[in-house]
Structure 1
Amino acid sequence: MNQQQRSAPHDDLFKAIRLTGNWQVYSIPLDQLFSPNDTPLTTTQSLYNVPECAHLQTALYPDRPYWGNHLRKINEQAWIYHRTFQKPEGPYKRVRLRFEGVDYFAEVWVNDVFVGQHEGHFAPFDFDITAILDDLEAGDEVVITVRVTSPWDAPNPSGTYPSDHIVRHLVKGLYEHGEGVIPPNVNPLGIWRPVWLLLDQGISIDHMRIRTELNGHVDVRLRVHNSTSQPWQGQLQLQVSAHNHDGEGVTKHLDIEVPPSTHTIDHTLQIPDVRLWWPWDQGLPNLYQLDATLSNQDQAPTAHKRAKFGVRTVHLERTPQRFTYWINERPVYIRGISYIPSLYLSECTEATLSRDLALAKDANLNLLRVHVHVSPSELYDLCDEAGMLVWQDFELNWIHDSSLAFEQRARDLQHDMIGMLQNHASIMTWACHNEPTMVLMRRQNLEYHPDPALYADAQQQDPTRPVFICSGQIEEDWQRSGDSHSYYGAIWSSRYTDVYKHYPLINTEFGVETPAALETLRAYPDTWQRLDHLDEPTIDSIWAYQAVLTQYHVEHFRRLRSLSCAGYIHFWLADLVPQVGCGVLDAHRIPKGGYDALRRASQPLHIALEHDGRQPKALWIFNDTQQAYQDVTIRWQIKDQHGQTRHEGETSFYIQANASQEVMPVQWPIARRNCAEIRLSVHTADGDLLCENDYKRPFQPLKRPRGYPWKFNRYLGTKVFDRDDAPSLTNETVNPLVKLLPLRLREPLAELMLRQQLPLKFISWVAQVVDFVTGVKKTAPTQYKNRGAS
């Protein structure tokens, strides 16, 4: 196989060889014990050549990667990856085999010797293979064999599709996420990031942790490993330099001794005249670079580690009445959106990630919620550079195994996530679990395992950031969470204006599913066969509904900044597949109706009308910038259905910096049926336009699309709106008592249950009673067994 010598990421003082070229891949039964000696490569019936960084679904079925049983069958097997390389020439004392990412379980052999295993799709891992290579001559062939699996969970006999028809046993968010996010037969599998040989002199800097204070203090912790049998003596140089600005840096030299094994080294640096990192709408995202270099007693560099970081602090002020995020001791209002860059992360490139980041920034958003997964490392680097905040979810979504064994697996992987990402200035919050109470009476994850342990671990590992034990419908638990998901006008109720009576502390999900553009749908036969009832006028009307729902929710949450709310996170930036989803962009990045509405409503300086869908209440100014505006003129104009002006006026106002303000209550002398359009604008004393806004028939709100949210297609795993032959999603329940109810009662009852607005203590008590009656144990044994090396 090809070998490519070049520097490994952030480390350029030892020899790194990237193993390029295809893998040879074949399948075996999932439950078959495996050893390379038992299944010679020459005896396999179907041998595939797979690119070095690709999920197997995209490699085997590049034209059909989204739907179908052919995808499900991939995960019903184990896949054996095989490649060779030549033993590299020295001099070196240690050789490690590093995998940047394998999805999901990996067991590794080198020259038929089992060297180790790993769980999790996102964390790099390595194995010391020095002893194996020491028995070979330079240029001899070395064989790598990797058994890769990402198995399906067993069906849950008492569950309901798509929320708990399975109980999840993988610490992985990117599978079985129904209702327009991840199709039902997609569970990515494969070696999807590069593989390296790392050659060194037995000493390495394996990890670097950086914490900063606003006065320029930089606390550095290094994890250094000495794989030799003798103490290593030399010098450590720590050098901080400006990365994207012209500020000063600092350099320190320390004489050190590292005994055999792994050790930590702590030191504090002081940056003079420090430049702070800010989100893009608050200032400049100033970054520094820290280089840590170990040099031996002959002054020869031996090991090196590099990391970029920003000097900034983040704090979430939490009370039962109000949440406020503080960045660098300044209140910052969150205008965010949820994001997964691709259904298969192996398809992400720096160019595609940059494109999406630009689309989010163009929509005036200052935060990405990296939803239920860890993204490729390039995304976090780009967010650091762009000044885009990141809310980082862990890999748990909906209902998981509640055993202690699963809890430990999850804790290990969350520790890996925080350790990998904590130097990124852009990351401002960790969230341990998304919607663990998606099913109202299933609370074992939240109340027993694994969520309390994950929350405690995250707080201990990184006390510099806020931690949420979970997201969604846990507003009463404001100390550990306190956020809300609000799907009024979507899956919760028929009117989007119902959110008017909701006062969240922070909202981390809202939105509505809409179809992709007609040209996108028609390009995929699997989609078009099931969505061909959606003509262009129908799609336009659904997009219009997404637009008004989005605008109404955003302006409602921004108004609540003055009372309680720290911000909002829309669900979702871009659909992962070309069908029906919550994205304001479709999978081809064609803007839907919600994108422009989100962009306009999220302007840092914005004027809005408060109304409840029936009558006007007040005019508001939202200013998330640090600039105040004196003597501005606010104007309004109301037109009837014939385009005639029925009422207009203006007033002077002082706009405060970084605040939401009520300008004035309004009681306009015009009947709601004659209010066809309202135009608002803000002008400087010189007459320059600062911002503007408009509303079409605000007191005659659009109705929720026909057939939504209950008409459903199981093959696509998504809503299909008003299709005659589509069943109701409420038919997916296995509870015979529920099925006795007529459909016209069952659907509104389901919407009521999804809102989960009963008192938390009552829900918890009822859930405990249900657990007792049904015999559910707090520490139910895990159903998953990984069968690998014999």
Structure 2
Amino acid sequence: MIPKLILPLVVWLPLAQAAPVPVTWSLAGQWRVHDANDNTFNGASAPDSSWRTLRVPANWYSAGYDHQGALWYRHEFTLPERAPDTMATLVFDGVDYFADVTLNGKTLARHEGYFQRFPVDISDALRRHNRLAVRVESPFEDPKTTWPLHKTLVKGVLNQHDTRPGGAWSERGQDANSGGIWAPVKLHLSRGVTIDEVILRPDWREGLQNPILRAEIRYRALADGHATLRLSAAPDNFSGPDFQQDLPVTLNSTAGTLNVSLPMRSARLWWPVGVGKPNLYRVRASLRDDQGLMDTALTRTGLRKLEEQPDNKGWLINDRRLFIKGSNYIGSPWLGTMTRAKYRRDFELVEAMNANAIRVHGHVAGRALYDVADEMGLMIWQDVPLQWGYDDSVAFADNAVRQTRQMVEQFGNSPAIIVWGGHNEPPWNSPWMEKRFPDWNKSLNQSLTKRVGDTLAEDSSRIVHRFSAVEEHYWAGWYFGTIRDLLAPAKTGIITEFGAQALPRLSTLKTFIPESLMWPKSTAADDPGWTHWKYHNFQPFQTFKFANIPRGNTIQEMIANTQAYQAQLVATAAESYRRQRYQPVTALFHFMFVETWPSINWGVVDYLRKPKAGYYALKRAYQPILPSIEPVTDVWRQGREATVRLWAINDTWSACEECRLTWQVKQSGKRLAEGET
């Protein structure tokens, strides 16, 4: 089910009697909730006593309820009498993770998956006065047998990651559960038919000047019959001509699909930030019969062509080659807290950093993220929510394939999504896991990874990256090697991770590190003084022993030292890989853009959205026209020759005829040499 006109819903609906169908009301507000971990408690019929209220939509943790497992949600509403051919549908935009839906004591649906929109036909159970009950379960997986290597939930970073509460590997790594009805719930009424989904893809066989919009329209009908389908596309963020087509169609009772095409001659194309305007079209599908409008659905898309050239020669967008400079992004572990305004704030920071893309790392985000990225021209590498290890059964792979296909179908209208990315660091590609897990084996999840990659490849309108390999994660200077190793020739054309941790500014740090814990006795990683810091994702071993960052004598010095190291590392890496543009590097994604909660991690922006020094270092390294110094000689010694190479890198599509590269060599303030070219 896709977005429709939404009116406010109260406990009773006086507007419903006057409003013609189709119409949609929001069910947002205060719902009753009750612990559902006791399976003998029937929340669909239990009395109201001992229930508390909770805001919907919201993750239960962010709404103030720290809970693991299952929770009953209940809501009551009243409707006037309906015509016999009225269809009523509950539309859930996102429930984490299992949902059992009951209306007026009748169990109607069970759904698995946290990010999908799913419709529930309630026509036969609907009354004038209604009690809706939803049992939501976001399980805590047993750390001894299941979590983290054999997880059974397709949640990606939402239930295991380095940047969430407790970190990736501790027994507290599932704290602050993301469960709940975290996205909007709506009640939709239509007449005789309901449009559940409109899937759009561009067709370029007649060239960029003559795009064709292919639409797959999924519906449910009360009975067989004839109708007229109107498919239209109108400019959303610019002025221009509309496109429209009316087609006679035959509807089948129960569920069906209509496949239609809309020629859009000379339509405006969607372009990424920095190279053009992100032109968007509102696309409406409507079904009518002799009595009038039956149902209508509205979505949005942009027209852009994508192509991956062979041999790392680059990616083409609308037949123009474009170098990808991005950062990994997670807005929050609790997706219900992220709004359009918050995503826009974050993406304005991303674009001000001279990045043109984000990698939505290891999860599918709220729909507002994709709406804002579409509007801002920010390109997206979209991962499936598969992070590290999972149950290796065929049944789990079947489930992951189903959810992957739903991601592609439901989010594929977004022109900002240019890449579908598969499993992140699958166990079979992560030999480092052998030392951590006795039951690791070199084929673990290999079939899962392949099947998910094959499913992504069903969408031919995008670049598909079947899995994110450890070989693409350039962690020199943090987990191995030194910063200087980042100057070596890249071994892959795509680099999806590089970075280092850094402390946030002191005012931010004080919001989650108590004064009594601000200065542990030593830098030893096993010093108990770091326990609270580790829960907030800090890695003392990598910081002090591996990266050899000096702690200093005060917390301010420690902040400055870690931020300086992070800035040096990300700038060195970004410039090195830009100097290797298309030889072989096609795309690079720094890790990580923002810290998602009160944390000390790889973000160059802290959780209060205050930039660190690394943000400004990346901003310089990502500037469209970059003068760059390649330090061939690491240490300059008196009386010996030293070599540097000077580069001028232009990522724009225009020659810079007036540009001049000037250089100076100074020592202790004294100018030793200079030049211009």
TM-score range, shorter chain: 0.7 to 0.9
Aligned match for 2:373, one of 383, 387, 403: 383
Within 5 Å, give how 1:303-314 maps onto structure 2.
303-314=295-306
Matched, 1:402 2:392: yes
Give the CA RMSD over aligned residues: 2.5
After TM superposition, give the deviation of residue 531 of structure 1 in Å: 4.2
Question: Which one of the candidate residues 165, 190, 193 is aligned to 1:200?
Answer: 190
Q: In the alignment, is the contact (CA less than 8 A) between 1:216 and 1:271 conserved in 2?
A: yes
1:440-487 deviation per Cα after TM superposition (whole angstroms, max 9, x unaligned): 454667663311111111212x1111212211225xxxxxxxxx0101
CA distance in 2, matches of 1:7, 1:232: 30
Q: Deviations over 1:504-562 (max 9, x none)?
A: 2110100011112211111225x655444561111011101111111100001101114
Matched, 1:464 2:471: no
Secondary structure at the counterpart of residue 581 of structure 1? coil
Q: Does 1:493 align with 2:481?
A: yes
Q: Deviations over 1:574-613 (max 9, x none)?
A: 1012221110000001111100001111011111011243
The amino acid of 1:40's aligned partner reads: A
Q: AA paired with 1:148? A: V
What amino acid is aligned across from residue 595 of structure 1 in structure 2? Answer: Y
**C-alpha displacement of 1:403:** 0.7
Q: 2:322 aligns with which of 320, 332, 337?
A: 332
Greater shift in the superposed pair: 332-341 or 631-640: 631-640
Which position in structure 1 is the counterpart of 2:59? Answer: 55
Query: What do the CA deviations read for 1:18-60 (whole angstroms, capped 9, x no partner)?
Result: 1232111111436x355346x723464xx32101111111223
> What is the identity, as a one-letter code, of the residue corresponding to 2:646?
L
For the residues of structure 2 that align with 1:344 and 1:496, how far apart are their CA atoms? 37
Secondary structure of residue in 1 paired with 2:470: coil
Q: Which position in structure 2 is the counterpart of 1:150?
A: 138
- Summarize deviations over 1:677-723 as a string: whole Å, max 9, x none: xxxxxxxxxxxxxxxxxxxxxxxxxxxxxxxxxxxxxxxxxxxxxxx
Residue 683 of structure 1: aligned partner: none
Match of 1:25 among 33, 38, 41: 33
Q: Name the counterpart of 1:597.
A: 617
What is the 5 A alignment of 1:600-749? Answer: 600-612=620-632, 613-614=634-635, 616-630=643-657, 632-641=659-668, 643-651=669-677
Q: CA deviation at 1:227?
A: 2.6
Residue of 274, 280, 283 corresponding to 2:276: 283
1:180 pairs with 2:163: yes
1:568 corresponds to 2:551: no
2-structure distance, mates of 1:239, 1:502? 47
- Cα distance in 2 between the residues matched to 1:250 and 1:56: 43
- 8 Å CA contact 1:13–1:304 kept in 2: the answer is no
Q: Structure 1, residues 214-240: CA drift from partner, whole Å, max 9, x if none? A: 2332232232424313x2222112222
Q: Distance in 1 between matches of 2:308 and 2:165?
A: 32
Choose the corresponding residue for 2:506, options 515, 518, 522. 518
Contact 1:7/1:15 (CA < 8 Å) preserved in 2?
A: no
Match of 2:288 in 1: 295
Alpha-carbon separation, structure 2, partners of 1:528 and 1:354: 34
Q: Could you tell me how far 1:622 is from its partner in structure 2?
A: 1.3
Q: Does the Cα contact within 8 Å between 1:216 and 1:270 map onto a contact in 2? A: yes
2:71 maps to which residue?
Answer: 79
User: In structure 1, what is the Cα distance between the partners aligned to 2:12 and 2:404?
Assistant: 32
Letter in 2 for 1:150: S
1:41 and 1:499, CA in 2 relative to 1: closer, same or farther beyond 3 A?
farther
Counterpart of 1:448, as a letter, is Q
Residues 311 and 425 in structure 1, CA contact (< 8 A), matched pair in contact too: yes
Are the equivalent residues in 1 in contact too, given 2:490–2:584 (CA < 8 A)? no
- Residue type of the alignment partner of 1:575: E
CA change 1:551–1:102 in 2 (3 A) is: same
CA contact (8 A) 1:249 1:272 kept: no
What is the CA-CA distance between 1:425 and the residue it aligns to? 0.8
CA deviation after TM superposition for structure 1 residue 106, in Å? 1.1
> 2:211 maps to what in 1?
217
1:262 aligns with 2:282: no
- Name the structure 1 match of 2:405: 415
Determine if the alignment matches structure 1 residue 132 to structure 2 residue 125. Answer: yes
Partner residue of 2:88? 95
Partner of 1:448: 446
Task: Kindly indicate whether the alpha-carbon contact (under 8 Å) linking 2:11 and 2:76 is maintained by their aligned counterparts in 1.
Answer: no
Q: Residues 254-273 of structure 1: CA distance to partner in whole angstroms, max 9, x if unpaired?
A: 12221213222222222232
1:244 aligned residue (237, 248, 255): 237
Given the superposition, is the C-alpha separation of residues 359 and 288 from structure 1 closer, same or farther in structure 2, using an over 3 Å criterion?
same
TM-score, scaled relative to structure 2: 0.85
From 551, 554, 557, the equivalent of 2:571 is: 551
Query: Match for 2:70: what amino acid?
Result: A
- Give, in whole Å, the separation in 2 of the partners of 1:365 and 1:3: 46
Indicate yes or no: 2:335 matched with 1:342. no
Which one-letter code corresponds to 1:470 in the other structure? F
> CA 1:531/1:343 → structure 2, altered by over 3 Å: closer, same or farther?
farther
CA distance in 2, matches of 1:181, 1:7: 43
CA contact (8 A) 1:217 1:268 kept: no
Give the Cα–Cα distance (whole angstroms) in 2 for the partners of residues 508 and 197 of structure 1: 41
Q: Which moved more, 1:107-116 or 1:175-184?
A: 175-184
Distance 2:515 2:22 in 1: 53
Whether the 8 Å CA contact 2:284–2:296 is kept in 1: the answer is: yes
Query: Residues 96-133 of structure 1: CA distance to partner in whole angstroms, max 9, x if unpaired?
Result: 12211111111121112111111111111121111112
Where do 5+ consecutive residues of structure 1 fail to align?
Answer: 62-70, 475-483, 652-790
Structure 1 pair 486/323, CA: closer, same or farther in 2 (3 Å)? Answer: farther
SS of match in other structure, 2:73: strand
CA distance in 2, matches of 1:165, 1:16: 41
TM-score (normalizing by structure 1): 0.73
Q: What is the deviation of 1:428? A: 0.5
Give the residue type in structure 1 aligned to 2:450.
P
Matched, 1:271 2:261: no
Q: Is 2:586 the counterpart of 1:579?
A: no
Q: How far apart are residue 148 of structure 1 and its match?
A: 1.3
- Kept after mapping to 2: 8 A contact 1:208/1:220: no
Question: How far off is 1:154 after superposition?
Answer: 1.7
- The aligned amino acid for 2:461 is T
Q: Provide the residue aligned with 2:46 in structure 1.
A: 40
Q: CA deviation at 1:503?
A: 3.4
In 2, distance between residues paired with 1:447 and 1:361? 36
Q: Take 1:101 and 1:17, find their aligned partners in 2: how far apart are those partners?
A: 16
Cα distance between partner residues in 1 of 2:343 and 2:234: 26
SS in 2 for 1:597: helix
- Are 1:554 and 1:598, in contact at CA under 8 Å, matched by a contact in 2? yes
Please state whether the residue corresponding to 1:587 is helix, strand or coil: coil
Post-superposition offset of 1:629: 1.9
SS in 2 for 1:148: strand
In the alignment, the residues of structure 1 paired with residue 574 and residue 667 of structure 2 have an alpha-carbon distance, to the nearest angstrom, of: 26
**C-alpha distance in structure 2 between counterparts of 1:58 and 1:96, whole Å:** 28
Q: State the Cα deviation string for residues 117-160 of structure 1 (Å, max 9, x = none).
A: 11111111121111112xx4x3xx21111111111222246x9x
* Whole-Å separation in 1 of the counterparts to 2:73 and 2:60: 11
